[in-house]
Amino acid sequence: MRVLCQVFPPFPPQHPFSYGESFKYAKIGVFCWVVNGFSTSVEWINQTKWISSEAPPGANKYKVKFFDGWFGVSKPEITIHGTIPSLFVDDKEVNLATGKGVPYKLPR
C-alpha cells in the first residue's frame, strides 16, 4: 500500500516553489508509517502530487502533517499482489478489492 497526498490551491505565498512554478516543489509537509505503535522514518511531502514509499510489513496506520498554510488530502492506494478471494454475502459474490458485487451505496 502507498498513500497519495494531493495539495490544493491557494498555495501560501510565504512558501514559494523551488525550481520554478511549473515543477511545484516545496516543503509542504511530512509523512510516516506507524508499525506496532512506532513511527517509521519521516518522508518529506515536497510536491503538490506526492506518493509515499511502499508500506513496511506490519504497518497499520500512517501520519500526515501539512505545514501551516498548505491544504491537502491523503488517500491510501492499495496495491494487489496476486488474487484476492471473493466472499459470499447472502448468497451474493462480493470482492471488496476488485469491487465485484459491491453495491454503489452500502445498505445500513
The answer as to whether 108 is a domain residue is no
CB 33 within 8 A of CB 13: no
Q: Is residue 93 one of the residues assigned to a domain?
A: no
Asked whether residue 103 is assigned to any structural domain, the reply reads no
- Tally of domains within the chain: 1
Which tens digits make up the pLDDT trace of 56-74?
A: 988 889 999 999 889 999 9
Alpha-carbon distance of 102 to 86, in angstroms, equals 11
Could you tell me if residue 92 is inside a domain?
no
Rounded-to-integer distance, Cα 6 and Cα 52, Å: 11
Please indicate, yes or no, if residue 63 is contained in any of the structural domains: yes
The verdict on residue 16 lying in a domain is yes
Per-residue pLDDT, 26: 86
Residue-number span of the structural domain to which 8 is assigned: 2-82
pLDDT in tens, 26-45: 889 999 999 998 999 999 99
